[in-house]
Structure 1
Amino acid sequence: MSILLIDSYDSFTYNLRHLVENATGAHVLTIHNDSYDLPREKESLNKLVGSVDAIVIGPGPGNPDSAQDVGIIPYLFETFPKTPILGICLGFQCLCLAHGCTLGYLEHPVHGQISRITPIDRNSLFRDFDTDFDSVRYHSIYISTVTDDIIPLAYSEDQCLMAAKHAQNLHFGVQYHPESVCSEMGSKLVSNFWALVEKRETVPIRDSHLLQTEPLIKHFKTTLEYDYKYEKIPKVDILSACERFPDPLLLNSALSPGEWSIIGLPEPGRSLVVGNSREAGLTVGTWKGETKAHSDSLWSYICNHMSQRYYEPTIGDPELAKCPFVGGFIGFLSYEESIPLTVNKITSGPTPSTRLCFVERFIVSNDKHTFVVSIRPRDKEWIQQTKSQLQTCSEPRFLSSVKAKVEKPDKKSYEKSFYDCQKYLHAGDSYELCLTRQTKVHVPKTVAPWELYKCMVKNNPSPYSCYLDFGDARLLSTSPERFLSWNNQLSQMRPIKGTVKKHPQLTYARACELLKIPKEIGENLMIVDLIRHDLYQMLKEVEVTKLMSVEEYQTVYQLVSVIEGRLQDSIYTGIDLLRHSLPPGSMTGAPKKRSVEILCHLEDRIPRGLYSGVCGYWSVNNHADWSVIIRSLFNYEDDLCSTGTTRCFRCGAGGAITVLSTCEGEWDELNLKLDSVLGIFS
């Protein structure tokens, strides 16, 4: 038994697939709505439909009256009247439109909001639904008039049609999203639909149009080339420790929930450096050594490198054994690394999109002790020398002020883009758009980037702070947001959506009241559903372990959710999740693909660069932790806005625009986030 699922490039499709699989036990085949070129490939599509028991048409951005947005969907309703079909959101609208109903635009679109659904026919789809139920809605378009061919099945509290069926065919649809984490009775709805399907012994055909994700790593090969050795000393100030070495790569957990700070210590001419850029492709070389172009892709190269070097050391110290990093890649991937966008040039040469350094010598520190570690064989002498250097550390010194020229975003330009966002949201092209702007900070070259970072982390300590200087690209981050962490059993994502500024009169209880409002809840819920979709592409078990919890940071309160996925017994590993989840959904909006394209246009094709990308590590024991690059400064050595005497640092900031947003409120939030970084400049 099998079901064909039509994906309209939505960011919730794989949540729906998971729901359908669990509710029916059927094998689900997935294709995009534009996978087949009709009428040229009509015979091939007909053959695929003939091999399944039913069709589920998922949600998606756009208008059901637009051929570009719906692809093959109208053809399915027209050509297969006897094939059971269940349409969700866009699929529901296409069903109604195919039978003469008319569409309208809601005066107040409903995106990520919970509605009370009332069935008026408790047979078929709503059989055994004893009461009304809550479900999440994401739509700007509604069915304004209904023909005799369409029979209404349910309404919302605002009398919007929420479900319907065709008068003769087994074609059904619901406007709401039964697959959302906050929707009730979704599984029951799908199982009721499946009960109406006349099952048969079907053999799903093999078709090149089916969506499949191949794992990046088939298996890890354990290496014998490493030898984990360490020395333990009392805790050393992490900033002071960095100042004892020429090229530290610092991942600094300066605040809970971060636990371990890591200083990677690359070796000139020896440590592997992998770089990538859209213009020049992959480069491979050594730290401050020769670099050469490589014909492989970034993902293929780093996965092949790591798959040959799996290493799980036995660590005698129980405290150090809890540290997930045992050597491996440290670095960053930019926003544009994973998406095919045409953006303007901001550097004279190829713009670095990825920089990763493979470190074998490093220092790790928690709130009690500092450890000097090497996985290189016969490296005791270096460990002892480094231990001696750390024992002579003094307290770090900070600049009293940093003078720089700051070019903040233009408010009128932002206002225009904000109202353009509203047009797209009201038209149904997106549910949420994370609109951003960049600030340029012109810093005298007499001020070392390290001094800037020290001021930043003193002013705004955060759990995912970092200082990564690769020479041609520098990242100074005080990010509070984990993007993705993983080990061999579990993955975790911690999206942040919803921010209020701290002040002496603002209590935690009051912050909760300000953040637990429909606008903020809608923003967070959309990203939670998006992340579940990203994980369900590859994993069977995904759980929201924390939903919209308020967390306190140095300068703000923020609304945080936690989503975990089970990797144990999966053919996929964490690196698959990373590749297919980029760029971070909290920095794009939903649906992700359409939102990214819209945002590129609204942001005047200025590349976000490192901002909105991710930074962190991937350890040889297949543990990893990546944060979202926000609250950060970054610089390219050949930035077109740098001069002979000044270095141009860029600082991105923005927020999620929804139909409930106000321009003034979003502008204030953008500046609040900017100020957490720019407060060090005078």
Structure 2
Amino acid sequence: MPRPTSTTRSWTRATTRSSCSRGSSEPRSLTSSATSEGTDPGVRRVRLEIDLDPLDVLRLFRGRERLVALLGAWHQGEALIAFDPVRVAERPFDDVVTAPLVAPGSFGGGWIGVWGYRLGQRVESVPEPATRPVPQPDHRIGFYDRVLRRSNGTWWLETLGRTDDHDVLASLGLAPERPPFDVGSFVLTPSPAEHRAGVERALEHIRAGDIFQVNLCARLEAPFEGDPLELFCAGVDALHPAYAAFVDSPEGAVASLSPELFLRRTGREVLTSPIKGTAALTSDPAELEASGKDRAENVMIVDLMRNDLGRVSAPGSVRVPALVRAERHAVWHLVSDVVSHLPPGVTDAQLLRATFPPGSVTGAPKVRAMEVAASLEPTARETYTGAIGHVSPAAGLELNVAIRTFEVSDGRIWLGVGGGIVSDSTPEAEYA
């Protein structure tokens, strides 16, 4: 997780600069056609001849109802784009249970959206901070029965039996627009002095043996004008995150530039890859791997995720095939992998209830760390530190950790930032 200032400044500066230059650029023209069709069991696939990158294809569907996009490493592809869901979830865990289809290499459709952090507070019966500057829904999840998917450089229109393609093909014949947007000056809540005081109080809990680690978060907020889709495109263009996600809804938009995989379920196999430990790209990754503080943070969260997965996994199946490796993203991160095997009959809802919210953004022990964080953070988390992704009958479940995530509503934009506090943390270093 980033510190509240230095890394975040680079994201916001890069995003704002990109918006100014790209907003005035001339879009390329586009010609497209559907050239072939294929069918996996339950999934209809139409191959499209499109000469545009994922961001410009996404721009073609600007303004469509509940537009969503997953860009990066999702489902072993490069892009998933969908709009006009046939259903909106009312129950964020129970509604998203799907009967699996056997469709190798396909996505087809499924539930796509946001599971906000506050859902986890309810699952674990943790009190929520009273202050919510811009209240947002605790979930925004729709069922999409057709998606545009790019894999290995090829675009496909994939549907769960749906055959009305004319509106998609018509949009693909247009030229993408790149309107400008403007982000005002960010203000941090709490103030620097208040944040340092919060870190000190967290350290008191750690010294007393109440917790081992807590993720303490702050909020950057600013005025916003323009289309949040363009903010998302600029951020992806600048940072190339592994698990980028855009979710639009009547209440506002979420633009996530996350590098972190929360959960991937394929059949009965589950993978989580928690991130703890961060260093600038100019630093030596070997030094990050050797850092006692960063390794301790990462290992504690690995143990937490082992425990969470163990609640629903087959006995003895939880393993750690990779412990504390440095990965290159917009910064260096320490990443570990935890895998498990689910017994027959375990649903996605059961898996989510056992693991949500992600352990890397809570602390250890999980529930007590969430309680401490709620008592010290001056404003409630909304989408931030929840999860964004898909639950698909063909492609399984895949969710990011909603960090580096902008939320836009009512002319305001905010970005949650935070860091893991452990016994050798210092208030000054946590704000640096």
TM-score bracket for the superposition, by shorter chain length: 0.7 to 0.9
Where 1:430 maps in the other structure, the secondary structure is coil
Distance in structure 2 (CA, Å) of the matches to 1:461 and 1:398: 21
Q: Counterpart in 1 of 2:49?
A: 233
Q: CA deviation at 1:393?
A: 4.7
Q: CA deviation at 1:622?
A: 6.3
Distance in structure 2 (CA, Å) of the matches to 1:608 and 1:258: 30
Distance in structure 2 (CA, Å) of the matches to 1:558 and 1:649: 26
Q: Counterpart in 1 of 2:33?
A: none
Q: Counterpart in 2 of 1:147?
A: none
Q: Counterpart in 2 of 1:431?
A: 212
Distance 1:525 1:548, change over 3 A: same
Q: Give the TM-score taking structure 2 as reference length.
A: 0.82
Distance 1:577 1:311, change over 3 A: closer
Where 1:498 maps in the other structure, the secondary structure is strand
Q: Counterpart in 2 of 1:520?
A: 294
Asked if the contact 1:613/1:629 (under 8 Å) is kept, the reply is yes
Q: Counterpart in 1 of 2:154?
A: 369
Q: Counterpart in 2 of 1:650?
A: 414
Q: CA deviation at 1:584?
A: 0.9
Distance 1:359 1:512, change over 3 A: same
Distance in structure 1 (CA, Å) of the matches to 2:81 and 2:109: 11
Asked if the contact 1:235/1:370 (under 8 Å) is kept, the reply is no
Q: How does 1:97-116 map to 2 (within 5 A)?
A: none
Distance in structure 1 (CA, Å) of the matches to 2:133 and 2:187: 18
Distance 1:574 1:347, change over 3 A: same
Distance in structure 2 (CA, Å) of the matches to 1:542 and 1:454: 37
Distance in structure 2 (CA, Å) of the matches to 1:233 and 1:393: 15
Where 1:558 maps in the other structure, the secondary structure is strand
Are 2:105 and 1:322 equivalent residues in the alignment? yes
Distance in structure 2 (CA, Å) of the matches to 1:256 and 1:347: 32
Asked if the contact 2:321/2:339 (under 8 Å) is kept, the reply is yes
Q: How does 1:531-680 map to 2 (within 5 A)?
A: 531-539=305-313, 540=315, 541-553=317-329, 555-567=330-342, 569-604=343-378, 606-621=379-394, 623-637=396-410, 647-668=411-432
Where 1:228 maps in the other structure, the secondary structure is strand
1:236-259 Cα offsets, whole Å, 9 max, x none, are 311111222232633333369963
> Alignment partner for residue 300 of structure 1, among 94, 97, 120?
94
Q: How does 1:261-280 map to 2 (within 5 A)?
A: 261-266=79-84, 271-275=86-90
Q: Counterpart in 2 of 1:415?
A: 196
Q: CA deviation at 1:389?
A: 3.6
Letter in 2 for 1:421: A
Q: Counterpart in 1 of 2:11?
A: none
Where 2:140 maps in the other structure, the secondary structure is strand
Distance in structure 1 (CA, Å) of the matches to 2:88 and 2:403: 24
Letter in 1 for 2:116: S
Distance in structure 2 (CA, Å) of the matches to 1:548 and 1:235: 40
Q: CA deviation at 1:467?
A: 1.0
Distance in structure 1 (CA, Å) of the matches to 2:83 and 2:88: 12
Distance in structure 1 (CA, Å) of the matches to 2:192 and 2:75: 35
Distance in structure 2 (CA, Å) of the matches to 1:618 and 1:256: 12
Distance 1:500 1:347, change over 3 A: closer
Asked if the contact 2:252/2:409 (under 8 Å) is kept, the reply is yes
1:433-492 Cα offsets, whole Å, 9 max, x none, are 111101112113xx1111211222122220111110111132111000010010213111
Distance in structure 2 (CA, Å) of the matches to 1:473 and 1:402: 16
Distance in structure 1 (CA, Å) of the matches to 2:246 and 2:240: 13
Q: CA deviation at 1:502?
A: 1.7
Asked if the contact 1:536/1:542 (under 8 Å) is kept, the reply is yes
> Alignment partner for residue 529 of structure 1, among 277, 281, 303?
303
1:104-134 Cα offsets, whole Å, 9 max, x none, are xxxxxxxxxxxxxxxxxxxxxxxxxxxxxxx
Q: CA deviation at 1:312?
A: 1.8
Letter in 1 for 2:188: K
Q: CA deviation at 1:375?
A: 1.7
Asked if the contact 2:43/2:158 (under 8 Å) is kept, the reply is no
Distance in structure 1 (CA, Å) of the matches to 2:395 and 2:43: 17
Q: CA deviation at 1:388?
A: 5.4
Q: CA deviation at 1:344?
A: 1.7
Alignment RMSD (CA, Å) = 2.4
Asked if the contact 2:71/2:242 (under 8 Å) is kept, the reply is yes
Distance in structure 2 (CA, Å) of the matches to 1:364 and 1:562: 27
> Alignment partner for residue 117 of structure 2, among 335, 340, 356?
335
Distance in structure 2 (CA, Å) of the matches to 1:528 and 1:588: 12
> Alignment partner for residue 390 of structure 1, among 162, 172, 179?
172
Are 2:139 and 1:354 equivalent residues in the alignment? yes
Distance in structure 2 (CA, Å) of the matches to 1:515 and 1:595: 25
Distance in structure 2 (CA, Å) of the matches to 1:403 and 1:528: 37
Distance 1:273 1:500, change over 3 A: same
Q: How does 1:22-101 map to 2 (within 5 A)?
A: none
Distance 1:235 1:562, change over 3 A: farther
Asked if the contact 1:374/1:383 (under 8 Å) is kept, the reply is no
Where 2:203 maps in the other structure, the secondary structure is helix
> Alignment partner for residue 259 of structure 1, among 77, 90, 109?
77
Distance in structure 2 (CA, Å) of the matches to 1:386 and 1:257: 22
Corresponding pairs, count? 383
Where 1:661 maps in the other structure, the secondary structure is coil
Between the aligned residues of both structures, percent identity stands at 25
Distance in structure 2 (CA, Å) of the matches to 1:431 and 1:484: 24
1:363-384 Cα offsets, whole Å, 9 max, x none, are 011241111122234x1xx335
Q: Give the TM-score taking structure 1 as reference length.
A: 0.53
Asked if the contact 2:70/2:389 (under 8 Å) is kept, the reply is no
> Alignment partner for residue 249 of structure 1, among 56, 61, 67?
67
Name which structure has the greater RCO, CA cutoff 8 Å, separation 6+.
2
Asked if the contact 1:372/1:387 (under 8 Å) is kept, the reply is no
Distance in structure 1 (CA, Å) of the matches to 2:141 and 2:333: 30
Asked if the contact 1:405/1:443 (under 8 Å) is kept, the reply is no
Distance 1:391 1:564, change over 3 A: farther
1:115-154 Cα offsets, whole Å, 9 max, x none, are xxxxxxxxxxxxxxxxxxxxxxxxxxxxxxxxxxxxxxxx
Are 2:240 and 1:465 equivalent residues in the alignment? no
Letter in 1 for 2:222: V
Q: Counterpart in 2 of 1:643?
A: none
Distance in structure 2 (CA, Å) of the matches to 1:455 and 1:435: 28
- Where in structure 1 are there 5+ consecutive unaligned residues? 1-224, 276-296, 315-320, 638-646, 669-682
Asked if the contact 1:251/1:464 (under 8 Å) is kept, the reply is no
Letter in 2 for 1:655: G
Asked if the contact 1:487/1:624 (under 8 Å) is kept, the reply is yes
Where 1:659 maps in the other structure, the secondary structure is coil
Q: CA deviation at 1:663?
A: 2.2
Where 2:138 maps in the other structure, the secondary structure is strand
Letter in 2 for 1:660: D
Letter in 1 for 2:105: K
Letter in 2 for 1:423: E
Distance in structure 1 (CA, Å) of the matches to 2:419 and 2:76: 24
Letter in 1 for 2:300: M
Asked if the contact 1:252/1:465 (under 8 Å) is kept, the reply is yes
Q: CA deviation at 1:596?
A: 0.5
Distance in structure 1 (CA, Å) of the matches to 2:175 and 2:350: 41
